[in-house]
Amino acid sequence: MDGANEMRQVFAGAGLSAPPVPPDLEPRVRRRGDWLYATRRIDPMAMYMFLDHVTEAMSRRVGDYMAVCHAGHGVNSYCVNYHLVWGPVAIFAQTGWGGVYMDRDRSAADVRDLLAQCGDVLAAAAAARPALERSGRRLVVAESRIRRSTYGWLDEDGRYTTVEDTREALSGAAALLRSGG
């Protein structure tokens, strides 16, 4: 079975929705470990810690990739972590799931909501991609439901301009893309 279909089955088997993957990246998705699916080698604990890969995407030294994992530490500090760097958009998202003391139904609903919002940003970015590519800017969205969240524009010269520091970075970014940014 290919990695993307296996990923979908694993997530569905846990009562979660499938992470969104752009069609051109889907054939590159591979199982890289337990609950780790990605188009590149990536450390799940670094994904859980969240900021290193945001910084990497802001350097523009990383090519397009998608990664999703379940990682954490201890008995309750676990998250589903999703990364997508796809041309003019970079999405980093995480929410708690799988901890011993977490409410199973509520955290599963939160994961489904988070991944659906990632899908909304991806769809809006796909529709706006030609204009975004012409602008030379990259929209960077970082929404962590356990850490700080923000979104903003990264210019070609590396200057980052925050649009908003908000707990609702994904929904704000999708609306921004749909409005023409």
pTM score: 0.94
Question: Which one is predicted more confidently, 167 or 132?
Answer: 132
Tell me the two tokens of residue 131. Answer: 């204009």
> For residues 20 and 120, what is the distance between their CA atoms, to the nearest angstrom?
9
In which element (H, E) is residue 131 found? Answer: helix 104-135
For 50, which DSSP code? -
**CA angle, 102 as apex, 43 and 100 as ends, to 5°?**
70
> For residues 122 and 90, what is the distance between their CA atoms, to the nearest angstrom?
9
In the sheet where 65-73 sits, what is the strand order?
30-33, 36-38, 65-73, 77-86, 89-96, 138-144, 150-154, 160-165
Residue 1: band (very low, low, confident or very high) from pLDDT cuts 50, 70, 90: low
Q: What domain count does the chain have?
A: 1
Q: Give the pLDDT confidence of 121-145 residue by residue, as tens digits.
A: 999 999 999 999 999 999 999 999 9
Domain range for 63: 3-178
Q: Give the pLDDT confidence of 82-124 residue by residue, as tens digits.
A: 999 999 999 999 998 977 767 888 999 999 999 999 999 999 9
